[in-house]
């Protein structure tokens, strides 16, 4: 199985500041045939299902604010929120869909400082 490890487990950031969440996969999720990273990011608020933010490591889902961005390739990925808003308080998960044993990171809890 591909193990997804996020860091940090929790993060407190001031409103308007940048938030950075990291995700490391135990093996590469870059598919060489199409040069795509099979990595997605989700946001989960309390009592709600996960919401897709980013796929292909860096493609923003329609309707997702442009303060959210994804980067990285191979085994190391980052979700960045450029200017934290109060509504961004949530748990964020990375997810690999490279192998059909689909796995998620353990989650990063983002709070306001």
Partner 1 sequence: QLQLQESGPGLVKPSETLSLTCSVSGGSISDSSDFWGWIRQPPGKGLEWIGSIHYSARIYDNPSLKSRVTISVDTSKNQFSLKVRSLTAADTAVYYCARQKRDNWNGLDWFDPWGQGTLVTVSS
C-beta of 67 vs 109, nearer to partner 1: 109
Helix (H) or strand (E) holding 70: strand 68-73
How far is it, in rounded angstroms, from Cα 67 to Cα 27?
28
Smallest distance from partner 1 to CB 107, Å: 5
Instruction: Tell me the HSE value of 77 on the side-chain side, using a 13 A CA sphere.
Output: 35
Q: Are 66 and 60 in contact (CB under 8 A)?
A: yes
C-beta of 52 vs 89, nearer to partner 1: 52
Q: Point out which residues pair with 110 in neighbouring strands.
A: 11, 90
C-beta of 15 vs 65, nearer to partner 1: 65
Smallest distance from partner 1 to CB 53, Å: 10
Site residues, partner 1 (CB under 8 A): 31, 33-34, 36, 38, 40, 42, 48-52, 55, 61, 93, 95, 97-107
């Amino acid at each position: 199985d591909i193990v997804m490890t996020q860091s940090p487990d929790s993060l407190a950031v001031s409103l308007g500041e940048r938030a950075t969440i990291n995700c490391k996969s135990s093996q590469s999720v870059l598919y060489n045939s199409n040069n795509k990273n099979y990595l997605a990011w989700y946001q989960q608020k309390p009592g709600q299902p996960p919401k897709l933010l980013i796929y292909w490591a860096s493609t923003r889902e329609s309707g997702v604010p442009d303060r959210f961005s994804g980067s990285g390739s191979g085994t190391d990925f980052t979700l960045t929120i450029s200017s934290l808003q109060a509504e961004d308080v949530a748990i964020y998960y990375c997810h690999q869909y490279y192998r059909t044993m689909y796995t998620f990171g353990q989650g990063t809890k983002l709070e306001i400082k």
